[in-house]
Amino acid sequence: MPTALAALTLVIVGVLLAVDVVPVAIGRRVHDILGALPLGLIAVAYLAHQTVLRPAPKEVLKTVLVAAAFLFWSANLVWPDPFVAMLFGDVAIALFVFDVFLVIIGWPPTPPDEGFGETSRDLAR
């Protein structure tokens, strides 16, 4: 299911970009929905993907953080009240910035990639 949702998301992004390249009279509202839909869908696909992987609780928290950021961004594009839409956009920005901050400080710590032959002992040197 996550792969199918992600593929559908890519198709919608393709339609969105095609509409931008070859302007079609679809109206601003429909364009906003076409922009918001992939953001919401990829958030759901990412959550579904992570449930299949069964990450550690700290990784679940980061997954929810990123998915929430995408959902707030999506809502920002279609919310009718400009003030609330702006608030949703600001929340999305804050969540994305916080997520990157967590990456920069190394939280949660990720185990070494065993596929590259690294071990904890190798990293301690």
Q: How confident is the model at residue 23 (pLDDT cuts 50, 70, 90)?
A: confident
The pLDDT value given to residue 36: 98
DSSP-derived secondary structure for 25-41:
---HHHHHHHHHHHHHH
For residue 119, the model assigns a pLDDT of 52
Q: What does the alpha-carbon distance between residue 16 and residue 51 come to, in Å, rounded to a whole number?
A: 28
Q: What's the pLDDT tens digit per position in 86-121?
A: 999 999 999 999 999 999 999 888 766 555 555 545
| Chain segment 46-76, per-residue pLDDT in tens | 999 999 999 998 999 999 999 999 999 999 9
Distance CA 83, CA 79 (A): 9
When pLDDT is averaged across residues 24-51 and rounded to a whole number, the result is 93
Give the number of other CB atoms < 10 A from CB of residue 91: 17
